Chains A and B, each alone.
Chain A
Amino acid sequence: MKYLLMIYMNDETWAGLSERERDAVMAGHDEFQRLTRESGELLDTHALGSPSTTAVVRVRDGDPVVTDGPFLETKEYLAGYYLMDCESRERAVELAAMIPDSRYNATEVWPVMFSAGVDV
């Protein structure tokens, strides 16, 4: 069963961390990727850019309307995700708890319903 683990970020929380804490989060991702690659559970991961680099596209009456910024104006935004293959929802939650950001912010766990692509 595939699960999408979505990491939500809060700039204030991040700015409040010490240099060492931030390094630990970064290093934690390397370790998390190594572990889950070895267990065969990691399928895919991407980190996303800052909300200031995003755009929202709507097509109205056939014309695209593009606005800068994310869809929802919130303090927390999607910073990246892990796509996992694991045996149960319990395991997906366990993996989400291993993501270092979960200590400071939050990670959402969504089951995947449909996949397509070269090798997903």
Chain B
Amino acid sequence: MSPVLEVEGLLRELAPQVLAALVRRHGQFDACEDAVQEALLAAATQWPAEGVPDNPRAWLVTVGSRRLADLWRSESARRRREEAVFAAELEDVEVPARDDTLTLLFLCCHPALTPASQVALTVRAVGGLTTAQVARAFLVPEATMAQRISRAKQKIKAAGAKFSMPPEGERDERLRAVLHVLYLIFNEGYTATAGDQLLRGELTGEAIRLTRAVRELLPEDGEVAGLLALMLLTESRRAARSRPDGSLVPLEEQDRSLWNAAAIAEGVKLVSDALSTTRLGPYQLQAAIAAVHAEAPTAAETDWAEIAALYALLGQMAPNPMVTLNHAVAVAMVRGPEAGLAMLAGLEGDDRVSAHHRVAAVRAHLLEMAGDAAAARESYLAAARLTLSMPEQRYLLAKAANLA
């Protein structure tokens, strides 16, 4: 690995720990965040040339703290006395405790923020991506992302959030929010919701890296393991999911020899262990479904009965129209397209999904299976009109054209 890449990887791993250390000691999330960004910048320019210091974390905490001190010095002379104490404290720089990263994640996923802001702040503060990188990943100008992040920080401040773990009773619920944000980051990268690119590797890679970090902190949590397994199993298909021209390849047509066997093995082991040792949860079930797909040697040999059973369980545990939709596909594979279409009919009146392109796309697929080419074509066209992703639209239009 080149020294620059090596330093970049190291910095991204250390960024949340350094930020957590500064926030714990000095408070003021936004000032600390600016200071950490500057310390990272200094390291990124100095380390590749001069070598990585013996204790890189301590180096970053020291530089970040100095930058904070500069900030406060220029802010007001009144603080001068405090600053003397502060400077003395720098002598014994403490390496931050590992669970500070989790506290930082809890702070970034604060309930006062909208999911979009939680995602932006998490990727930037915990992921250590620069604002420019986050902006590029979400296809918005840097100024726009900078504003989004700074609004999020102000909201946290206004909500009076403290840098500490939420009380025991709230912890479980807050962890679900953290996992949900990580899942959103992954999904945004996996199926870009809009734009001309189907995959955004920066985001899926970041989501997996962060989820791995959470798993190191909470190795006993079955849902953390389940989410990591789900991401690994989904990501394992990346190379087979799109053609060189960017168009989409559906699961049943994918070249399975392109699937990443190491990621599949890791994902399958993670979810199997979690299923047998921890309390069952929705991410584990989704990972188990992904594992059934991953372990089928060919699309035709997929164990659809097993998948249908897992979706039925998921539907009971975490009812949601998207689960019903996927359940309908599995049921159609086991009991025929009519059974699947009957389940879809139940979604017609559901405002959350009735205008979603996936419902129309699945209906089209099931109608095609049932041999009703004209109705299938109509549904493919309807789905193409509703999607905001160019590769998906091209795929759906091609399916419609095949039935003309």
Contacts and interface: CB of A to CB of B under 8 A. Distances in A.
Interface of A: 1-2, 38-41, 43, 85, 87, 111-116, 119-120
B193 interface: yes
B335 to A, nearest CB: 36
A113 B384 CA distance: 12
Interface string B43-81: 000000000000000000000000000000000000000
Contact of B195 (A38, A40, A114, A119): A114
Interface string B119-163: 000000000000000000001110111111001000000000000
19 contacts: A1-B194, A2-B194, A40-B146, A40-B148, A43-B140, A85-B141, A85-B144, A87-B114, A87-B117, A111-B388, A113-B195, A113-B388, A113-B389, A113-B393, A114-B194, A114-B195, A114-B196, A116-B196, A119-B141
A4 to B, nearest CB: 12
Interface residues of B, number: 21
Contacts of B271: none
B199 interface: no
Contact of B151 (A1, A2, A40, A113): A40
B390 A1 contact: no
B195 A115 contact: yes
Contacts of B140: 2, 43, 85
A115 B140 CA distance: 10
Nearest to B148: A40
A113 B143 contact: no
Q: Is the interface of A mostly helix, strand, loop or mixed?
A: loop
B10 interface: no
Given A1-B193, A2-B194, A39-B151, A115 B139 contact: yes
B222 to A, nearest CB: 32
Nearest to A1: B194
B153 to A, nearest CB: 13
B116 interface: yes
Interface in B379-400: 388-390, 393
A87 B151 CA distance: 13
A39 B141 contact: no
A61 B146 CA distance: 49
What 9 A-B pairs are tightest by C-beta distance, nearest first? A40-B147, A40-B144, A87-B116, A113-B388, A85-B140, A85-B144, A119-B141, A114-B196, A114-B390
Contacts of B144: 40-41, 43, 85
Contacts of A119: 141
Contacts of A111: 194, 388
Most buried by B among A2, A43, A112, A114: A114
Given A43-B141, A87-B114, A87-B116, A112 B194 contact: yes
